[in-house]
A and B are shown apart, each in its own frame.
Chain A
């Protein structure tokens, strides 16, 4: 063996030993520091949350932060809630799970299981996961039309998460958390946690040299036109994300026979089987988003969706006589709340009063709809057209009234309709095309 070969063999052995040593050290360090909470969420480390951390936990942001799908799936295991609020980003960002009627007798907050851009498929999986962990006493589910496209896939990585209703859950959970703990990102953050007190100690050696940063010249508040343009840009992103052009008509059943309305039927069955008090509602989006659905030629499907939901609940009520029916509240489409117009108070930025954009209502609307659902004292002050309890006997009338209001809105809000049309056209989604 030549000298170079001997060196090379020594090099490879040394490299292998160092890699092995590093790989052995990393998980220990990461479990000890647990900067992203995975070890706590999996029960590998004891957790003693503060009040603030408990509040974060109820919103799905603790022990694993950020409130992503992954975080919620893991955190709900840790939180073991009595009440759960499912839905999309409107729930995630604008429903306060500390709302009093949702709390348990001992004041425990509900768990917010809102996931951005959720699909019916994902909601069913999350629902089954929560129930398999520990059936809650009460569940509220906020639904959006876009969730029910059978062609809308789950978010990347969602199906690889560990779900309690699947066989081998404990093994899946252990494998999943181990993988997360064995990442460079986790290690950097663990090292940063170690470094932080050292850095703070070093910093105290030096005199504070903090300098107040200048605020600069104040910018003129956003004008009405600027806000409208921002909303058009926002609509493009929302339409692309929520109603992607699949090249086929909007449908509730895919080629494999999977039905998005079937997912709701399954949710209702599970709730019945576990005696969970379930409430469903159709979320209030801004009228502009309903205009997008109409302009895409999908209004018949929208009405079919409402009919499908009512049918599921009618069937359930017939199968369970003598038990309270599952309520379905409808907060869409062209109501006093959802036809909110762009307003500008002098000196302040222009914007909707009740909506952040075409899809997301503001927190105040979240409280309003919960007031309606839970029939609180405050609900008396709500507009009459905000929240209708849908059933087989009032569905046709309700849909006819919606169509009338739609025609009125289209005629009276030409600027908003033109804005949505512009967004669709720029995406090459021919407005008015019946798909």
Chain B
């Protein structure tokens, strides 16, 4: 079920909230049980056949975590470690079977020239998210940092519908106590108002902004640079940049919109989530970008991959190797394909360059805490450009089409605009022609509406406050060092003025729900 659908907004959500409040009056456990059933219903709406898989995964991890606790209580550390390793391996095998089995076979076929039958499996929704959430729990159980005795709360922690499909990847330490303490027996108006405001921001981001600009880079759009490149059609400079920027913005508004909705929904029930985005395109370097983009995944990769690999404790070379390896696996987590590997490798390389540059400057005696306005602007622009290039690989269907688009961005495929744009450009068109730009009547998408979208959304991502900054008066997200909101004058409060703004925003979003579209991160 999609958050951006009528059935969710006017059916599932109000019914679940009402049922929970009624059940919680009877008992705390009954309330939690209602939420588990509702979450499973939410998951099964898409494909009920995978509900048993989700339940089996939760039961297995819970059982194994209990096994680890028992082995440790019996002072048998080797057994505890064996159970831990077996659990992680089983989780990764399950994930690998659904996500990477086909990719593995096709890679073997390509390398060995064999003809193994490639099986295309339907990826169970959210499998990457609920697998990672549970691996973190089991590892921390082994480290004696986590304990959950009640299977009901564990099940609620894993299946909790606001985060089940596409995160945020919640950490048991921060969220499990909240589930255990769920004690609302009557409607909390303030939580409802703040949560619905956060949800409305997310809904607007998704259905108006992300879907609006997404139409220009959709696979269904034959004139999109990504479609053209996948067909081997050369993509020119303007086509390539507009498509890359449009996807960059679509992905941000789509995923951060989803995260805002998840945060808002969960907050209405009294459970706070960690922030997942913090204006990532305002980052001044790649290290900062990864502290602002998909923050819960970054933290997971840092805590459960980068640190166990040795982090930065074994010298510079090993640190860089660990960074690249972490990013490569992070890339592969997003999808089974060489384009994701390339994207991960690219970001790994960016991080290495970033760290090396810092070390170089520090060793030259530069004060890293000081910078000029021009320097900050240049750093922000360079970081943004590097991220945009990375998204080309992330979005492209093949490696060669990604290279073609990047070549187009570098100006190697010429400078072509649609002839239909020429009248609107007036005298500027003549200047463009004199500068070498050509106007073609066929195979070109009109650039002007897309340019208007890009400029508008760039203004929002670069200079407007983000959702947690707008909501900073009310702690809708868990406190975090990385997501400390910047000061802004635009802060939400439950006033009549804000009620009007929220109502108009919600209505516009509601009227844009003509064709509910899936979230981009559902595929991961």
Contacts and interface: CB of A to CB of B under 8 A. Distances in A.
10 contacts: A5-B190, A8-B189, A8-B494, A11-B494, A15-B503, A217-B430, A234-B442, A236-B231, A241-B222, A427-B232
Interface in A236-270: 236-237, 240-241
Nearest to B191: A8
A235 B441 CA distance: 16
A234 B232 contact: no
A156 interface: yes
Interface string A381-413: 000000000000000000000000000000000
A213 B231 contact: no
A100 to B, nearest CB: 31
Interface in B376-400: none
B86 to A, nearest CB: 38
Nearest to B193: A8
A237 B233 contact: yes
Given A22-B503, A22-B507, A7 B494 contact: yes
A26 interface: yes
Interface string A406-435: 000000000000000000001100000000
B496 interface: yes
A246 B514 CA distance: 30
Contacts of A18: 499-500, 503-504, 507
Contacts of A323: none
Contacts of A213: 423, 426-427, 429
Interface stretch (A60-68, A71-79, A181-189, A313-321): A181-189
A184 B511 contact: yes
A64 to B, nearest CB: 15
Interface in B179-235: 188-190, 192-194, 196, 208, 220, 222, 228, 231-234
Contacts of A107: none
Contacts of A174: none
B506 interface: yes
B443 interface: yes
Interface in A198-237: 211, 213-217, 219, 230, 233-234, 236-237
Contacts of A186: 511
B216 to A, nearest CB: 16
B146 interface: no
Interface of A is mostly: helix
B190 A8 contact: yes
A185 B494 CA distance: 29
Interface in B297-316: none
Given A18-B500, A179-B514, A184 B208 contact: yes
A23 interface: yes
Contacts of B508: 184
A307 to B, nearest CB: 33
Given A23-B510, A234-B443, A12 B496 contact: no
B399 to A, nearest CB: 14
B152 interface: no
A61 B437 CA distance: 35
The 3 closest A-B pairs by CB, nearest first: A18-B503, A216-B430, A426-B232
Contacts of B149: none
Contacts of B188: 5
B286 to A, nearest CB: 35
A215 B428 CA distance: 10
Which of A11, A18, A427 has the most chain B CB within a 10 Å cutoff? Answer: A11
A74 to B, nearest CB: 15
B8 interface: no
A243 to B, nearest CB: 13
B495 interface: yes
A185 B211 CA distance: 13
A192 interface: no
A4 interface: yes
Given A4-B494, A12-B499, A214-B427, 6 more contacts: A4-B190, A10-B496, A12-B189, A18-B507, A22-B503, A22-B507
Which of B439, B493, B503, B508 has the most chain A CB within a 10 Å cutoff? Answer: B503
Contacts of A1: 189
Given A10-B496, A18-B500, A179-B514, A427 B189 contact: no
A357 to B, nearest CB: 9
A147 to B, nearest CB: 18
B514 A217 contact: no
Nearest to A229: B234
B15 interface: no
Nearest to A21: B503
A426 B231 contact: yes
